[in-house]
Amino acid sequence: MKFTETLATRIALVSLFLPVALCAQQSQRISSGAMNNATPATTVRGNAEQGRPVPAIRNPRYRINRSDILSLTFPLTPEFNQPKVMVQPDGYVTLQGAGSVFIQGLTVPETVEAVKKAYSKTLHEPIVDIDLIDFQKAYFVVLGQVSKPGQYDLRYDMTVTEAIALAGGFAATAKTQVFLYHRVPDGGWLEAKELKLKDILHGKNVEEDAAMRPGDMIFVPEKTITKIRKYVPYGVGTSVSTSPSSYF
């Protein structure tokens, strides 16, 4: 009888504490998963601080460039409206009653905040709407062994093969080996990717026909290149020549 009562008591205790233990174990797993998910973000910040390439931002916002034209509207104080404000070569805009403000490289929402701050000494909690009237059009560049190398407008969704076709196709001296360079945002680096269009044009690995993004550069070499660096540093004056040995 005592054995039966003891066994029943143990079963009751297990039934009582088992859900609690499982919940605790699940919480521990969730916490561990959150820590693991946080690791890449920490690594990304660390890489950025060390000046190394970081992953590209998904759906990046347009950033203001020189010669862009903005429209400033103040719904509550229309006397400060400015229908056309051009970004000067030094990146500044001149605001009526607020002086000059540097906005080059800012997104439109960031520009709104910068303008609000500039008018905060004149207006109490200013409200301003900013629209882009004219801006730098999306483009890409094709260099190397193509019929018409140069810069082209990126007006619609386009793949690398379509971009090469727009540049007149391969020259007689070209290889079907192609390199696609994409700028890493705020990193001073180019991300380099090798594409073997011969396979793509023959219906193999067609999913590797990469989509073009604004500012991308395509290079078609005359000689086959066997080694390539995934990330290439760039700066003012950096370009890819027909003998890019220093980049690989």
| Per-residue pLDDT reduced to its tens digit, 76-87 | 999 999 999 999
Given the structure tokens 């190394």, which residue do they identify?
Answer: 52
Task: Of 15-24, 119-128, 215-224, give the lowest mean pLDDT range.
Answer: 15-24
pLDDT of residue 214: 85
pLDDT of residue 187: 59
| Per-residue pLDDT reduced to its tens digit, 182-202 | 877 665 677 888 887 777 776
Region 135-146: mean pLDDT is 88
Q: Any residues with CB less than 8 A from the CB of 104 and at least 6 apart, and which?
A: 64, 65, 66, 87, 90, 91, 92
Region 165-171: mean pLDDT is 90
The model's confidence at residue 59, banded by pLDDT at 50, 70 and 90, is: low
**Amino acid in position 84:** K
Q: Is the pTM of this model over 0.85?
A: no
Helix (H) or strand (E) holding 196: strand 189-196
Burial (Cβ within 10 Å: 0-12, 13-18, ≥19) of residue 51: exposed
pLDDT of residue 63: 87
CA distance 112 to 107: 9
DSSP state of 247: G
pLDDT of residue 235: 57
pLDDT of residue 61: 80
> Does pLDDT of 203 surpass 60?
yes
